[in-house]
Amino acid sequence: MSSKKPCTPPDSDGVPNKTRRDFLKKSSFLTAAAFVPVTVVNAAVNQWDEKLASVFEKTSLHLEVNGVPLNLSVEPRTTLLDLLREQLNLTGTKKGCDRGQCGACTVHADGLRINSCLSLAVTNEGKKITTIEGLSKGQELHPMQEAFIKHDGFQCGYCTPGQIMSAVALIKEGHAGSEMEIREFMSGNICRCGAYPNIVNAIQEVKKGGLS
């Protein structure tokens, strides 16, 4: 049997891929080391790509979430949804499709409903964010939450936070004039359990109750 080790396939210019990658990594590290503090360099020795990235890539973010002013440090690529769930532990806002198609992640930004999975956290600088946790006042539920319970507007409950956030915004937007209008302007929120008739009933009751 041959004792030769398999060679790394070369690029078109004849330089092996592995050699090229090693060279780029080492040269990038050395370049960074010339401009960063010794503590950062020491951190970079151990998994430098992860730790160095966290040092340079994070940016400050100031916003208000459910009435609480926050000063945060986030990566520019972080979505508002991931910030809420992973950094602030507000897991009531659900991650469904992660593509803005199901509405499970709906929150309010300065009173307007948005899909938080499509909104970068840094683009909400200075805004007031309201999640499902921010609707109730202590143990006192929001009228829309009570109506969803009364009319059984959910089954599995996964889409319910987004449904409720959209429903509250829907009335404030003035789009709850009829059943057809409610269905049209709630169409961005998908209920896989099919509780749509009950959801409409809940919204209509809250609308009659004078929520604006």
Within its chain, how far is the Cα of 150 from the centroid?
A: 29
For domain 59-134, the CATH superfamily is Beta-grasp domain (3.10.20.30)
* CATH number of the domain located at residue range(s) 143-208 in this protein: 1.10.150.120
Query: Stretch 6-28: mean pLDDT, rounded?
Result: 58
Where in the chain are all domains bearing CATH 3.10.20.30? 59-134
Quote the tokens at residue 196.
């749509």
- pLDDT tens, residue by residue, 20-73: 666 655 665 565 555 555 555 565 556 666 666 666 689 999 999 999 999 999
Where in the chain are all domains bearing CATH 1.10.150.120? 143-208
Compute the distance between CA of residue 189 and CA of residue 17 in angstroms, rounded to an integer: 47
Quote the tokens at residue 6.
């398999």
- pLDDT tens, residue by residue, 154-191: 999 999 999 999 999 999 999 999 999 999 999 999 99
* Predicted model pTM: 0.74
Cβ contacts of 122 within 8 Å, gap of 6 or more: 59, 61, 74, 76, 78
User: What are the beta bridge partners of residue 72?
Assistant: 61
Cβ contacts of 110 within 8 Å, gap of 6 or more: 127, 128
